Structure 1
Amino acid sequence: MLTVAGLKEALGDGNINMIGVWGMAGVGKSTLVREVAKKVKEEKLFDEVAIAIVKQSPDLKKLQVEIAEKLDLKFDKESLSGRADLLRERLTKDKNKKILVILDDIWEKLDLDEIGVPSKGCKVVVTSRDRDILSTWMGTDKVFELQVLPKEEAWSLFEKFSGDSLKDSNLRSRAIEVSTACAGLEELYVGNSFTQWEVEGLNNERASLAELKHLSQLTTLEVHIPDANMLPKDLALKLKLNTSFQLESGIKMLLNGIEDLCLDELKGVESIIYELDTKGFQQLKHLHVQNNVEIKYIIDLRGLVIDYIVFPALEIFSLKNMNNLEEICHGQLPLTSFRNLRIVKVEHCEKLKFVFSSSIAKGLSQLQELEIRECSIMGAIVLKEEAGVEDRDMILLPQLRHLVLHRLPKLMSFLSTQKSVINDAGEIIPECDLDFHMPILLDQVVFPNLETLELSYIDSEEILQNQHQSRSSFKLTNIQTKSRFQNLRSLKVEGSGSLKYLLSSSTARVMEQLKYLSIKDCKVMEEILLTEDLGEEEEIIPMVLFPRLIDLELIDLPVLKRFCIGIQGITVSKELKEMNSEEISLTTMQPLFNEEPKVWYNSRKLSVSECESITEVVAGEGGEGNEVITFSQLTYLKLDCLPNLTSFCSRSYSFEFPSLEEVIVSKCPEMKIFCHGILSTPKLERVQATKEDEWHWKVDLNTTVRTLALEGQTMIPLCNSSSE
């Protein structure tokens, strides 16, 4: 049973950033998190706590204002992104302050980055009625279930909120009966004798249907409701329909006008359209289908010709654990079906070969979020099925802002070409060349407003089509090329076993809005940006790549040589606030970047780990020995498992770290001194040999590192990667 103490304990765990609390309506999620907020403030576990209520249709600007008010933050910007930047800075700028953000009553995935709540830098608690929303779509580190209170605890809570009114012995006995009966109620029969229900929200004494939301154990309900306007708008009733006779006229009539529908473990149905609604669900806005082993098609139109649009109002479409699903639509749909889709999420559909046909995809002008996860034979997201359509024809998704492709081992490309066929096993393969490799995102697929792109555990040699190849193959204009990723803010790539480079440098040039770049577990990646021979029409000019980049993460890239090889005059963002480089075995003794690493000087956090060949962090070649180098924003420095590191810099540069507060030097057996020049660290008073280790301090940083080396604290030779 989740308690205030249990949640407080999780909040104190340094390895947990986001906690989820889920449970049925009325079980007490909001009460619990507010009690926790009160306790952690009283006990000074957190310096500040901000609570915002999300609800079913969240207003992101209103949420920003709610959080900001709790933090005494005033917005001087009106745009959503401008406010998000201010809020993010407020939540992360003071490393000494512990801040807790509570987002109550989440109904669907909430983009915290869009609001301005960072994944690091503060603790976040989110509550929802749906566990899947928390664990899968919000990415919580730990999820708690809040269940119905046992009899004793229910009475204790009832008594606490009732106050002195329970001193009356007669009232007290009746109150005990009420508190024990209602919370565990399993059956409720209310017939025609209660036809005068109160409308929710009126201050009258008759019963309101809103009370049903608090009966979390209710399994049987018989009630007469003469006026549908009395139904609360957020009341959800889950019906168990196991056999086909239960789907006769009464239920089908309800489904015909329904707006929100969740089908969980539905039996006896192979296709939703026609078996559940012959009119194509004209009113349905939200459809979630999960945990089914029988449904083969959401829509089966074999041999049928229809003259109406299917799912014309559908906005959110989610499929999960559909083990027998082969196609979403089998047959030809009217082209404007699905025209209002905003969010599509597909997970664990083991027989699904593709998501949409190209004819339907061309009509998805409102699509904003697309997440496809763990579909073992999916070969393409969009299948080009029409005869006579050339491969160069473009698929435009003008409103798509969020794209996630995760663990799709057979994925060849986002869009299959006419040279691809589906084999007997349902896999999409090249027709004539089994060794043919396509980029994941061909140039015919255009996302002019894409902000977030996440690709993980997809085996492809190329993510984005090389821009210079595309010019000859598809004749794209410069405007078309630039519009593909001009608004991209976050790019994450993980778990690719074939990717040797991330992007071409020409493609990187158009990503002027990129703020977050993360690359992990790419075993053969040699460089981040692939250099190209510039055409005669292109002038070689100095340029800054990713001018707005603030967070760079490079982890487990064992053969990475450089960020970008061979380009003169290129620099990387001077706005970089955090760089994390782990498990990189540099093949040269040169720095990761061509330039002197001034790119790091504005970093707030610098972590260098598992780099077997690196001997120094700041290159000691060239330059004047009396140069002063200042890391003005750096607060955290970690040097871990660097077996050949001798010092931060081998030359006699002077280093200033005016903001540095935390240093970890671990498993660096050759490091006997931090640096050889003058060193200034006015705020630093401790050094740790591990994150969990007690701190050490002797006069200054150089003396402390020297002492740790003499005591053997930095001389742990084995690292996890090398010992595996």
Structure 2
Amino acid sequence: MHDVVRDVAISIKSKDKDALLGQDGVDAWPEKDDYTCCKVISLWASCNVRGLPNRLECPELRTLVLGSSDASRLELPNSFFEGTKKLEVLVLNKMKLTPSSLSHLVGLRMLYLSGCELVNLSFIKELKNLKILVIGYIYEFKEMILEIGKLTSLRFLDLRKFNDDIGFLSGFLSCLSDLEELYISREYNRWEVEGNASIVEINSLTCLTALDIYIPTHVFLRLPKNLPSFQLLTKYKIWIGCGPYSVLGQHKETKVLGLGGIPLMDRLDVLIANAEVLFLFYLEGLKKVLHDRDGEWFLDLKVLAVELCQDMEHLLGKPKWSSKTHGPSPLGSFGKLRVLKVYFCTSMKYLFSASSARCLPKLHKLDVEGCSALEEIIRGDEEVTDKIIFHQLKELKLVSLPNLRSIYANTKKTSTTEYSMPSTVTQPLFNEKVMFPVLEELYIYGLYSIKAIWDKQLLPVLKVGDSFQHLQRLVAFNCKEMKEILAFEVGQGEAAAEANNEISVFPHLKTIQLWFLSNLKSSEEETKKSRLQALVNHKVRFSSLKNLEIYECYRARECRSEISVAVSKCVQ
């Protein structure tokens, strides 16, 4: 809040000459002539600041920001605010106050108190015009809560940083009938259905449009079916049930939702459908949420994290839009999705169909971990026969996926179906069916079914720059069946070898890290030359490579010196 208020004050000063801004640790109060006519003052002073006036004479002052830059609190005189009758915005950090010092501020519209020592809190009820109240780190909050309930004109209440041992008294929230924004500490877990700290009271706040709250599982399950109502919310950070609710604070988006270990009830539909960030943790029945929707859900979703959800074979359903009958797909459900994380969903066989993959034009990061049954990321369907292109994907992380065969496995047509299950024949991780034109970072850990990263048929594609041209970092770790990294087919005749000589297929690749790849090799020939080709093919030049790490790759250890020579030649 310190930085936020300071930024606001700086912006005011740029437009208003009647402003005084001090640096951190001011040890001498400014001269009276420097501030008497100011409309904005922002000072962060030491607790022993010299010249602190008993009465601040600023008849035109509208905004005052005072903070102590020391660990100790700065004590303000009882009559300090008597000369600031027009004050509307007051921000105090680590101050020691008495009720008489604030009782004169009847025109105050915003009050922010953090880390303050308040001798008596009766003054709060006198601030009848107060619209915005932010309370942080005040241990007298139990007494203050009684007074806050009398501020019937309050529109904005932020209690995210208060002592979480304090319980709300019955009727406290329902008294604040004009409240539009309510922010409660996510550490607060003493909600009840009835009595003190009753979460049902939130439903009486008919003007509420913004809510930040954590609702425990046992409370949510006991609530009436129609409570609480979330229909009017335009901003929210809500976690309901179990799970890592602290992650909500990591996102700046205005609609953030986390659900963990609870039944998916209809009352949650409006929150799920409109979320910008969505965490789904240990849920059943998720298929009805992510599949078979009419295209009106998830229009603004930017981040989706799914963890420990076990009743789905695939993540995203097939889109309703058909490219065969309607042309290119519009930007609909998941069209704004930038980050997708899928962790420990052990029944999932693939993430999405090819037609669903084409509906992810904004995907920037894909992180998949611990999905033990996963066979491929994309599964083919009759809607898509051409290449899939992830135009904005920059980071791809695949971790502990022992049955993953390919990103988009090659399939075979049968007499009964146009597309069959992927062939069990070993396939490379990447082939020509999926393009990654801007991918920068590739991490693959624990892919036990993968023997090669790139298909030899990708060489022409890589040469013309359609894919992997921006790759900067390659990390392969504990892929025990992997035999090839960057080796392409060489037995194409002398003309082909000459034509392919000194091809720079990864012009921006700076780092290659290969750890615990026990079977890494190039061919059945046990020559140093062939082993070297498994790592740095003689036809492939890395113009930007700066770091090559090889650790516990037993079959590659013998060619370590040759690899170093090859890398130095590539860099030259």
Q: Aligning the two structures, in what range does the TM-score lie when normalised by the shorter sequence?
A: 0.5 to 0.7
Superposed counterparts of 1:324-363, under 5 Å: 325-327=262-264, 329=266, 340-349=274-283, 355-359=289-293, 363=297
Say if 2:464 is the partner of 1:543: yes
Say if 2:547 is the partner of 1:605: yes
Moved more, 364-373 or 374-383: 374-383
Superposed counterparts of 1:355-394, under 5 Å: 355-359=289-293, 363-382=297-316
Q: Distance in 1 between matches of 2:293 and 2:504?
A: 43
Which residue does 1:573 correspond to in 2?
A: 506
- RMSD between aligned residues: 5.0
> Contact 2:184 / 2:213 at 8 angstroms: preserved in 1?
no
Cα displacement (A) at 1:656: 7.5
Cα displacement (A) at 1:531: 5.2
Q: Distance in 2 between matches of 1:235 and 1:370?
A: 25
Give the residue type in structure 1 aligned to 2:341: V
Say if 2:146 is the partner of 1:222: yes
340, 343, 356: which one pairs with 1:444? 356
Q: Distance in 2 between matches of 1:540 and 1:390?
A: 25
> Contact 2:314 / 2:348 at 8 angstroms: preserved in 1?
yes
Q: Distance in 1 between matches of 2:312 and 2:479?
A: 27
Superposed counterparts of 1:505-584, under 5 Å: 505-508=431-434, 510-530=435-455, 542-544=463-465, 545-563=467-485, 566=488, 572-584=505-517
Could you tell me the TM-score, scaled by structure 2's length?
Answer: 0.56
Which residue does 1:465 correspond to in 2?
A: 378
Cα displacement (A) at 1:396: 5.1
Cα displacement (A) at 1:277: 3.5
1:114-165: per-residue Cα shift (whole Å, max 9, x none)?
xxxxxxxxxxxxxxxxxxxxxxxxxxxxxxxxxxxxxxxx998216x679x9
1:82-139: per-residue Cα shift (whole Å, max 9, x none)?
xxxxxxxxxxxxxxxxxxxxxxxxxxxxxxxxxxxxxxxxxxxxxxxxxxxxxxxxxx
SS at match of 1:270: helix
Label 1:512 to 1:382 Cα distance change in 2 as closer, same or farther (>3 A): closer
SS at match of 1:525: coil
Which residue does 2:233 correspond to in 1?
A: 283
Which residue does 2:29 correspond to in 1?
A: none
> Contact 2:182 / 2:212 at 8 angstroms: preserved in 1?
no
Which has the greater radius of gyration? 2
Q: Distance in 2 between matches of 1:658 and 1:458?
A: 38
> Contact 1:355 / 1:381 at 8 angstroms: preserved in 2?
no
Give the residue type in structure 1 aligned to 2:382: F
Give the residue type in structure 1 aligned to 2:298: L
Q: Distance in 2 between matches of 1:379 and 1:54?
A: 46
Q: Distance in 1 between matches of 2:139 and 2:226?
A: 30
Label 1:597 to 1:230 Cα distance change in 2 as closer, same or farther (>3 A): same
Cα displacement (A) at 1:487: 1.7
Q: Distance in 1 between matches of 2:511 and 2:217?
A: 48
Label 1:474 to 1:273 Cα distance change in 2 as closer, same or farther (>3 A): farther
> Contact 1:267 / 1:292 at 8 angstroms: preserved in 2?
no
Give the residue type in structure 1 aligned to 2:464: M
Say if 2:404 is the partner of 1:499: yes
Label 1:365 to 1:658 Cα distance change in 2 as closer, same or farther (>3 A): closer
Aligned length: 396
Q: Distance in 2 between matches of 1:581 and 1:228?
A: 59
Q: Distance in 1 between matches of 2:571 and 2:452?
A: 33
Structure 2: tracts of 5 or more residues without a match: 6-10, 12-67, 78-94, 99-113, 159-179, 244-252, 408-428, 491-499, 523-530
136, 143, 158: which one pairs with 1:213? 136
> Contact 1:257 / 1:281 at 8 angstroms: preserved in 2?
no
Label 1:216 to 1:359 Cα distance change in 2 as closer, same or farther (>3 A): farther
Cα displacement (A) at 1:192: 8.2
Give the residue type in structure 1 aligned to 2:183: A
> Contact 1:213 / 1:235 at 8 angstroms: preserved in 2?
no
Which residue does 2:339 correspond to in 1?
A: 402
537, 548, 553: which one pairs with 1:595? 537
Cα displacement (A) at 1:447: 0.6
> Contact 2:463 / 2:505 at 8 angstroms: preserved in 1?
no
Q: Distance in 1 between matches of 2:532 and 2:266?
A: 55
Which residue does 2:349 correspond to in 1?
A: 412
> Contact 1:261 / 1:288 at 8 angstroms: preserved in 2?
yes
SS at match of 2:433: helix
Which residue does 1:417 correspond to in 2?
A: none
SS at match of 1:403: strand
Superposed counterparts of 1:275-314, under 5 Å: 275-278=226-229, 280-292=230-242
Q: Distance in 2 between matches of 1:453 and 1:362?
A: 23
> Contact 1:190 / 1:222 at 8 angstroms: preserved in 2?
no
Cα displacement (A) at 1:216: 5.5
Say if 2:159 is the partner of 1:237: no
Give the fraction of aligned pairs with identical amino acids, expressed as a percent: 13
Could you tell me the TM-score, scaled by structure 1's length?
Answer: 0.45
Q: Distance in 2 between matches of 1:563 and 1:577?
A: 15
Cα displacement (A) at 1:274: 4.1
Label 1:248 to 1:504 Cα distance change in 2 as closer, same or farther (>3 A): closer
Label 1:187 to 1:443 Cα distance change in 2 as closer, same or farther (>3 A): farther
Superposed counterparts of 1:649-688, under 5 Å: none
Cα displacement (A) at 1:383: 5.5
> Contact 2:337 / 2:363 at 8 angstroms: preserved in 1?
yes
Superposed counterparts of 1:150-189, under 5 Å: 157-158=71-72
Q: Distance in 2 between matches of 1:251 and 1:187?
A: 30
Q: Distance in 2 between matches of 1:230 and 1:522?
A: 51
Cα displacement (A) at 1:242: 1.4
Label 1:485 to 1:213 Cα distance change in 2 as closer, same or farther (>3 A): same
> Contact 1:346 / 1:372 at 8 angstroms: preserved in 2?
yes
Which residue does 2:53 correspond to in 1?
A: none
198, 206, 213: which one pairs with 1:262? 213
Which residue does 1:318 correspond to in 2?
A: 258
SS at match of 2:475: strand
Give the residue type in structure 1 aligned to 2:521: T
1:555-577: per-residue Cα shift (whole Å, max 9, x none)?
11222111366557575311111
> Contact 2:521 / 2:534 at 8 angstroms: preserved in 1?
no
Give the residue type in structure 1 aligned to 2:447: C
Give the residue type in structure 2 aligned to 1:576: L
Q: Distance in 2 between matches of 1:162 and 1:195?
A: 21
Q: Distance in 2 between matches of 1:385 and 1:540?
A: 29
Which residue does 1:59 correspond to in 2?
A: none
Q: Distance in 2 between matches of 1:385 and 1:543?
A: 32
Q: Distance in 1 between matches of 2:283 and 2:363?
A: 25
